Amino acid sequence: MLGGELNNSSSSNLDSMTRIWKHMVNLNANTVVTPISWAQLEPQEGKYNFSLVDGLIKGARKYNLHLVFTWMASWKNGMSCYDPMWVKEDSKRFPLAQKADGTPTRVLSTFSSNNWKADAAAYAALMANIKKFDGTVHTVLMMQVENEVGILGEPRDMSPIADREFDGPVPARLISWMVAHSSHLVPELQDIWNKAGHLTAGTWEQVFGKGMQTDEIFMAWNYARYVNHVAAAGKAVYPIPMYANAWLDGNGAKPGDYPSGCPEAHVMDIWQAGAPHINLLGPDLYAGNFRTRCRLYTRRHNVLFMPEMNSDAGGARNIFYAIGRHNAIGVSPFGIDHTPSNGPFHTSYGLLEQIAPLLLQKEQTGSVVGFVLDTSHPDYDYRMGNYEVHVSLDSIFGHTTNQGFGIVIQTGANRFLGAGSGFRVMFTPLTPGPKYAGIGTVVQGNFLNSKWVPGLTLNGDQTDQGRSWRFASYEHSIETCHVYRYD
Ligand code: DGJ
């Protein structure tokens, strides 16, 4: 999915969508990620209005785009603002989480079956409608269930019912899941459990120790279970992939500074145990340490998808790493509808869209690498087939660029295809035979309708006189390289 998430309110009315569909096509995107609001879908209890959903699906089809809907319902960014008025005005029936001083938050409680049942009923109705309208065409690829759940401002819900649960035993289902997976839990959870004595029964504080880490684990379990109820109701009528997204914790931030209970990487086991109907946990990856976060979210067999990320030039470079290195199934810069149509994602998606068929075929065999280079990470080495492949920031006549990104795919024993900008590649043979590898023929080109159309043959300065396969920083290109060996 070469996607983009719209600003929260952009698809609340179909009139504004014509410009946006065209914008997405101009960006070379293929998928639009956009909200469906519970409040707009079910303005009166049990009375649904599907006209917006159907209109969005029709609009996407007209422009040959796919959709991922984000179900904005009980929670959005650790708050509750997309619940309908009939929910908002009845906090007796639809209770709220509470702060330590007993005052209410504007966050629906995870502990109320009225809350999740109302949410799940609406979600099931939505999924039934999508199935009816789209069950054979599949314009809608995937659903995000809620948005950046978790409680903001407090490490956990402090209401009397939450306190009772917190003082009660850790559910046997969670404990037995942890026991069954104990050899490969994420180390952060493993440490917490070990430090508290690796107990297999007890209250939350006995099993996980006293402190905010336990508040967070407790909330993660309860959010996961609630989201699972909603996802299960939707999957019962139309089982397409469903995921939950995470507002990532920042440097030194404590649970409650970010939504406590969100599917953070350090509680992904708790989410996997509590929400088996959720197929993947997606990081909203605005944070600087992009590479580390990608790695953390590919543990525990989690498939990488970034529902949100920066829509700037840095984001447009980082996606080559996420896709080429971690087989990300999709990326989706946030607020895409207000980015320039000739901006950095236009260029990056233009390259990725062309190489996608080859990339999808080759990533199954491990013959793909992806990277993003800068002055603190100027080079990487990879093993590809019979070669050690050295990728570094491009440099010519003593001038080295300071940003580079790309993907390199091995297409034959001595043949490679690359896409990107600002990097150079050199090869070292790893098998018996002639000791050195030279850059033979380099051809720039494009895939038109999946067919390779060669353009310039690069030589001279463009290959540093045959010393390296170059992707100059003044352009974004797709190039093939035929390597030869000599003594
Ligand atoms: C994260 C949220 O999930 C989005 O809906 C949006 O509000 C962005 N933050 C804004 O950066």
Average pLDDT over residues 108-126: 98
Taking CA atoms only, the protein residue closest to ligand 1 atom 11 is: 334
* pLDDT-based confidence at residue 21 (cuts at 50, 70, 90): very high
Average pLDDT over residues 42-63: 98
Residue 287's pLDDT is what?
A: 80
From 284, 309, 310, 338, give the residue whose CB has the most ligand 1 atoms within 8 Å, as the site to mutate.
284
- Residue 253 near residue 152, CB atoms below 8 Å: no
How far does the centroid of ligand 1 lie from the alpha carbon of residue 175, in Å?
33
Residue 251's pLDDT is what?
A: 83
Token representation of residue 143: 């659903």
Average pLDDT over residues 69-87: 98
Kindly give the pairing relationship between strand 451-458 and strand 436-448. Answer: antiparallel
Closest atom of ligand 1 to CA, residue 8: 5
How far does the centroid of ligand 1 lie from the alpha carbon of residue 11, in Å?
15
Q: How many CB atoms lie within 10 A of CB 46?
A: 10
Place of tokens 């319902």: 73
- Residue 368 near residue 362, CB atoms below 8 Å: yes
C-alpha–C-alpha distance, residues 347 and 478, integer Å: 12
How far does the centroid of ligand 1 lie from the alpha carbon of residue 328, in Å?
20
How far does the centroid of ligand 1 lie from the alpha carbon of residue 266, in Å?
21
Q: How many CB atoms lie within 10 A of CB 327?
A: 17
From 245, 308, 312, give the residue whose CB has the most ligand 1 atoms within 8 Å, as the site to mutate.
308
Burial (Cβ within 10 Å: 0-12, 13-18, ≥19) of residue 332: buried
Taking CA atoms only, the protein residue closest to ligand 1 atom 5 is: 8
pLDDT of 409 higher than 90 = yes
How far does the centroid of ligand 1 lie from the alpha carbon of residue 176, in Å?
35
Closest atom of ligand 1 to CA, residue 286: 11
Taking CA atoms only, the protein residue closest to ligand 1 atom 9 is: 77
Q: What confidence tens digit (pLDDT) does each residue in 330-360 have?
A: 999 999 999 998 999 999 999 999 999 999 9
- Residues lining ligand 1, CB < 6 A? 8, 77, 147-148, 284, 308, 334
- 223-234: b (≥16 Cβ within 10 Å) or e: bbbbbbbbbbbb
* pLDDT-based confidence at residue 395 (cuts at 50, 70, 90): very high
How far does the centroid of ligand 1 lie from the alpha carbon of residue 301, in Å?
26
Residue 310's pLDDT is what?
A: 97
pLDDT of 288 higher than 90 = no
- Residue 287 near residue 371, CB atoms below 8 Å: no
Average pLDDT over residues 167-176: 98
CA angle 356, 358, 361 (to 5 degrees): 105
C-alpha–C-alpha distance, residues 42 and 25, integer Å: 31
Taking CA atoms only, the protein residue closest to ligand 1 atom 8 is: 334
* pLDDT-based confidence at residue 364 (cuts at 50, 70, 90): confident
pTM beyond 0.85: yes
Taking CA atoms only, the protein residue closest to ligand 1 atom 2 is: 77
C-alpha–C-alpha distance, residues 407 and 380, integer Å: 12
- 295-311: b (≥16 Cβ within 10 Å) or e: ebbbebebbbbbbbbbb
Sheet with 477-486, strands from edge to edge, namely 368-374, 403-412, 415-421, 477-486, 436-448, 451-458
pLDDT of 376 higher than 90 = yes
Q: How many residues does this entry show for the chain?
A: 487
From 77, 152, 247, 262, give the residue whose CB has the most ligand 1 atoms within 8 Å, as the site to mutate.
77
- Residue 341 near residue 335, CB atoms below 8 Å: no
Residue 250's pLDDT is what?
A: 86
From 334, 336, 338, 339, give the residue whose CB has the most ligand 1 atoms within 8 Å, as the site to mutate.
334
Considering the chain, what is the average pLDDT of its residues?
97
One-letter amino acid for residue 413 of the chain: A
How far does the centroid of ligand 1 lie from the alpha carbon of residue 6, in Å?
10
Closest CA to 11 of 64, 62, 51: 51
Closest CA to 320 of 289, 294, 282: 294
Average pLDDT over residues 245-261: 94
C-alpha–C-alpha distance, residues 328 and 368, integer Å: 12
